[in-house]
Amino acid sequence: MIPPQKIVILGSTGSIGQSTLRVCAALPEQFEVVGLAAMSRIEPLIDQARLHGVKTIAVADVQSARIAADRAPDLTVWSGAEGIERMAAGEGVDTVLCALVGMAGLRPVLAALERGTDVALATKEVLVAAGGRVTALARRTGAHILPVDSEHSAIFQCLQGQSVGRVKRLVLTASGGPFAARADIDFEKVTVAEALNHPRWNMGKKVTVDSATLMNKGLEIMEAHWLFDVPLDRIDVVIHPESIVHSMVEFIDGSVLAQMSPPDMRYAIQYALTWPGRFDGGLPPLDLVKVSPLHFKSPDPSRFPGLSLARSAAATGGTMPAVLNAANEEAVSLFLEGRIPFAGIWRTVEVVMARHHSIRDPELEAILDADRWARTAARETVNAR
Ligand code: MG
C-alpha cells in the first residue's frame, strides 16, 4: 500500500484551508495532514489540530503563538514568519497547500519550492508579484506548482496531455461578483456588506472584494501567464455568472475544452492534491439540467478599470505587478475599514502605479521593497485626500 501523502496547510483557518481539511478528511487513505498554520486565529487553529490529529501548528503573530503554546501544551507551536517557513520546508512533507492571504504567502512558498516540495497554490498574489522568481525556482528544484484557484485548476485539467504549443488562447471565466450584471450600481455608494455579498462563492473578504472589482480576474490573468507560460494577449476573460464552467482552453484546431463542476472549491483543491490521479472524495455531482441555462458575456472595461490596470501592470512587468498587487491589498483594507468608497479601490491603485518606476528583472528584495513602498504610497494617497 502507498502511504498517505503528508500535507501541510498554510492558512488553515480561512475558507480554502477549511475546505482543504474537508478534502483530506474525506480521503484518509490518500492524505495525512501533518501541519497547520494561521496568521493569528489560534482558537479555530487549535480546534482544527485536535480534530484532525495534527501535532504541529505555526502561528505568524508571535504574541498569539505564545498564547497558543500556553493553551495547547499537547501541540508543538512554531512562531512567527520563521515558524511558518520552517513548517513549509518541513522534512518529509509531500505537498504544501498555501492559502495565506496575499504576500504573506511568498516566503513560505519559496521555502517549500527550494526544498523541492510541491506547492498547491491558492495565494495568487505570490505569482502576481514574483512569478518570474517563483517559477524559475520551481524549474530548478523540480517542484510542481499545482493551481488551487478554480480557473487555473480548470485550465490545468484541460491541458493534461497537451503541450502549450497547441494552445491558441486561454479563456478565464469570471462570475462578475455582485455588480457585473447590475448597470444601475453607483460605485461611489456601494457598502461593504454589498461588496461582500458574493452571489456564487463563499470566500475570504479580500478575494470577495477583488471579485466585485474584477481586480481578481486581472490578478488571475497574470497568474495564468506564469503558471502556463501563455502570453498575456492570449488570455481572455468572459463573464459567466453561474460559475459552472471554471475556464476553458482553445486549441489551434479550434476545439475548446472546458472544465465544469458545481461552484465549490473542494473540486480544485482535491485535484491539486491528487494530481495526476483522481479519486472519489464524495463531492456532489454536477446536474447540468438543474443549473442550466448557462450565460456568457464580455466584461465592460469602462465599469471595471481593475482589469485594464492589471493588464497594464503585467505589460510593464518588473516590479509593477507587485506594486499593483500591494496597492490593491491596501486599498481593499481601506475600503473594508470604511475609509474609501468602492471606486476608491481602483483610483488608489491607479495613482500608486503612476508614481512607480518599475525595476526590470527584480531580485526578491526589490520585489519586497516595491511591495512595502506601494502599501505606504496607497495609505498616503488616501490620507492626503
Ligand atoms: Mg479564481
Asked if the structure places residue 271 within a domain, the reply is no
pLDDT for the residue 308: 94
For residue 23, give the 3-state DSSP assignment.
Answer: helix
- pLDDT tens per residue across span 141-177: 999 999 999 999 999 999 999 999 999 999 999 999 9
- On whether residue 215 sits in a domain, the answer given is yes
Query: What is the whole-number distance in angstroms between the Cα of residue 173 and the centre of ligand 1?
Result: 9
Classify residue 229 as left (phi > 0), alpha (psi -120 to 50) or beta.
Answer: left
From first CA to last CA, the distance across the chain in angstroms is 64
- DSSP letter at 1 equals -
3-state secondary structure of 121: strand
Cell of 226: 506564469
Distance 188 CA to ligand 1 centre (A): 25
Of the three residues 122, 147, 172, the one that is the final residue of a domain is 147
* Cα–ligand 1 centroid distance for 208 (angstroms): 10
Q: Are 31 and 3 in contact (CB under 8 A)?
A: no
Residue 309 maps to a domain: no
- DSSP assignment of 53-106 equals T--EEEESSHHHHHHHHHH-TTSEEEEHHHHHHHHHT-TT--EEEE---GGGGH
Distance in Å, CA 219 to ligand 1 centroid:
9
pTM, to two decimals: 0.96
- What domain range includes position 367? 317-385
Distance 220 CA to ligand 1 centre (A): 7
Own/partner contacts of 64-69, CB < 8 Å, gap of 24 or more, are: 64/40, 67/42, 68/42
What is the per-residue pLDDT across 292-335, written as a single tens digit (0 to 9) for each?
999 999 999 899 999 999 999 999 999 999 999 999 999 999 99
Estimate the crossing angle of helix 125-141 against helix 320-336, to 10 degrees: 140
Claim to verify: residue 141 and residue 232 sit in the same structural domain:
no
| pLDDT at 200 (0 to 100) | 83
Which of 171, 43, 147, 153 lies closest to 97 in space, CA to CA?
147
Ligand 1 center to residue 383 CA distance, Å? Answer: 31
Q: Which of 284, 221, 211 is nearest to 247 (CA)?
A: 221
Cα of 53 to ligand 1 centre, how many Å? 30
Per-residue pLDDT of the chain (385 residues; tens, 9 = 90+): 789 999 999 999 999 999 999 999 999 999 999 999 999 999 999 999 999 999 999 999 999 999 999 999 999 999 999 999 999 999 999 999 999 988 999 999 999 999 999 999 999 999 999 999 999 999 999 999 999 999 999 999 999 999 999 999 999 999 999 999 888 999 999 999 999 998 888 888 999 999 999 999 999 999 999 999 999 999 999 999 999 999 999 999 999 999 999 999 999 999 999 999 999 999 999 999 999 999 999 999 899 999 999 999 999 999 999 999 999 999 999 999 999 999 999 999 999 999 999 999 999 999 999 999 999 999 999 898 7
* 212 closest CA partner among 98, 328, 321: 328
**How far does the centroid of ligand 1 lie from the alpha carbon of residue 293, in Å?**
22
pLDDT of residue 68: 98
Are residue 250 and residue 323 in the same domain, yes or no? no
Distance 175 CA to ligand 1 centre (A): 9
Tally of domains in the chain:
3
Kindly give, in sequence order, each residue whose CB lies less than 8 Å from that of residue 215, ignoring residues fewer than 6 positions away: 306, 307, 309, 310, 328, 345, 346, 349
Calculate how far, in angstroms, residue 265's C-alpha sits from the geometric centre of ligand 1: 9
Alpha-carbon distance 286 to 181, whole Å? 24
Kindly state whether residues 184 and 290 are assigned to the same domain.
yes
* Whether residues 251 and 158 fall in one domain: yes
CA distance 110 to 123: 13
Give 66 Cα–ligand 1 centroid separation in angstroms: 34
Q: What pLDDT shows up at residue 204?
A: 87
CATH number, domain with residue 45: 3.40.50.720
Ligand 1: centre distance to CA 151 (Å): 5
* Ligand 1 centroid from CA 153, angstroms: 9
